[in-house]
A and B are shown apart, each in its own frame.
Chain A
């Protein structure tokens, strides 16, 4: 890759750049900042689309009463039961129990606080579930492509 061919397709780096190794006019390698590259951006958005789907399903499950709000936060933080259990320092079976709304409703304040800490929210906000997943990327363009 030549230096002038280093792509500058801004999408996911925000204010930052990635470094590409590219050749200058003399054929010597130079470190060249890149704002991003479309193929990598597409692959990144695809990964977020999978996460978004999981969050949507979790929101649905919480609203229909088949899962506790923990399911939503778990999906939002890209965790599964195993990962959440390690963060909360609890055995998996207990986390699985806490995903049941009836068990969750009786959760001790200490455990609620522990989960809230893991998810980075205040304990009193644990039960607030948005209507739509909120993501750090815009998926509209990606979805339009998929729809075509």
Chain B
């Protein structure tokens, strides 16, 4: 069985799956639009949560939130299931495929055989779409991979039952009912409002622009607190979260700028185009931070890559993002 499913490669797995599933069901939206409507942009520095003994830093909202928000804001009905028994989860998948429904899955990348081996860490919130079966293998549209791939049943089952943080427990989801007419404009505005509030009005100092400033202050102290080697690892971890596959560059800042550009047209609001350009500039600055940070990790460029200099760059990003998101809220 094989469902005719248009694979569009995307920067980020969840916004990609959301956009591709919606498009399949007749709501043609881009990945950037899905990312924006789903309020994907975020910043959080949570040093008390550890991933492989490194502090959690995130540039996007919690896994699953984008899909959930987009569905809510567009009035799409979604079925979501989790399982205890792996065989049952595969039977449910087969059943949905039998009804010609493409199915979204939450998986652990460590077990996906087609995934680039260098990127196979224990990350359990990777989204993909299953759109067919050929004997003992499933047809998969993994939005961060160039083309559709085949994945053996055994491996897919393992990936669906990965253990540890964010264990998917076989989670699968698909669109149940899609409204005939969809007005994207209120959804776009709601998405922007949530991101704006989160970035400049979060009540805790570790989220939004305050979180970026908090990180800057911590980063400055890493060398004294942790020593050169360990602080290099912290820095490298930060760069990975910002730039490794799935962010579209600049810790999701570019994809959000692309969303603002589309939103400007959709809402007939040229002010949003200006904000898009400014966010592109901020994203470029994040990229420079990663570039110099990586040089620091390599033990090069003593002066311009000192920790205080890197912290100053982060503070500049925070400053500019604060202004930007305040203007965004004002423009709504």
Residues of A at the B interface (CB closer than 8 Å) are 1, 6, 11-23, 27-29, 31, 33, 37-40, 42-44, 46-48, 50, 77-79, 82-83, 86-87, 136-137, 145-146, 148
Query: Which chain A residues border B167 with CB–CB below 8 Å?
Result: 86
Tell me whether A44 and B10 are in contact in the complex, defined as CB-CB below 8 angstroms, given that A29-B257, A86-B164 are known contacts.
no
Cα–Cα distance between A48 and B297 once the two chains are bound (Å): 14
Q: How many residues of B contact A (CB 8 A)?
A: 52
> Which residues, 267 to 314 on B, are CB-close (under 8 Å) to A?
277, 280, 283-284, 287, 290-291, 293-295, 297-300
**Is there an interface contact between B164 and A48, defined as CB atoms closer than 8 Å?**
no
List B contacts of A20 (CB < 8 A). Answer: 11, 248-249, 254
State whether A21 touches B32 (Cβ < 8 A).
Answer: yes
Nearest A residue to B254 by beta-carbon distance?
A21
**Chain B residues proximal to chain A, CB less than 8 Å:** 9-11, 31-32, 52, 110, 116-122, 144-146, 163-164, 167, 232-233, 236-237, 239-240, 243-246, 248-250, 254-255, 257-258, 261, 277, 280, 283-284, 287, 290-291, 293-295, 297-300
Q: How far is B257's CA from A135's CA once the two chains are assembled, in angstroms? A: 37
Question: A-B pairs with the 5 shortest C-beta distances?
Answer: A136-B117, A39-B294, A29-B258, A86-B163, A12-B118
Chain B residue numbers with a CB within 8 Å of A18 are 11, 144, 245-246
Known: A16-B116, A42-B297, A136-B120. A21 touches B233 (CB 8 A): no
Contact of B280 among A19, A23, A48, A146 (CB under 8 A): A23
CB distance from A134 to the nearest CB of B (A): 11
**Cross-chain contact A43 with B237 (CB below 8 angstroms):** yes
Taken together as a complex, chains A and B put the C-alpha atoms of A19 and B295 apart, in Å, by 23
List A contacts of B246 (CB < 8 A). Answer: 18
Residue from B32, B243, B284 in contact with A39 in the complex, judged by beta carbons closer than 8 Å: B243
How far is it, in angstroms, between the C-alpha of A19 and the C-alpha of B252 when the chains are bound? 11
Q: Select the residue from A12, A39, A40, A137 with max chain B CB neighbours within 10 A.
A: A39
CB-based contact A21/B240 at 8 Å? no
Residues of B within 8 A of A86 (CB): 163-164, 167
12 residue pairs of the A-B complex, CB under 8 angstroms, read A1-B254, A12-B116, A16-B146, A18-B245, A19-B11, A21-B258, A29-B258, A29-B261, A39-B293, A39-B295, A40-B240, A44-B244
Contact B244 A43 (CB under 8 A): yes
- Asked if B118 and A21 sit within 8 Å, CB to CB, the answer is no
Instruction: Tell me the bound Cα distance from A17 to B143 in angstroms.
Output: 11
Contact residues in A for B261 (Cβ distance below 8 Å): 28-29
- How far does the Cβ of A50 sit from chain B's closest Cβ, in whole Å? 7
B243 A47 Cβ-Cβ under 8 A: no
Q: Which of A21, A40, A145 makes the CB contact (< 8 A) with B243?
A: A40
Find chain A residues with CB under 8 A from B258 CB. 21, 29
The residue that A19 contacts in the complex, of B52, B144, B163, B284, with Cβ under 8 A, is B144
- Given A44-B118, A44-B119: A83 and B164 within 8 A (CB)? yes
**CB <8 Å contact, A1 and B144:** no
B163 in contact with A47 (CB, 8 Å): no
When distances are taken between beta carbons in the complex, the residues of chain B under 8 Å from A148 are 299-300
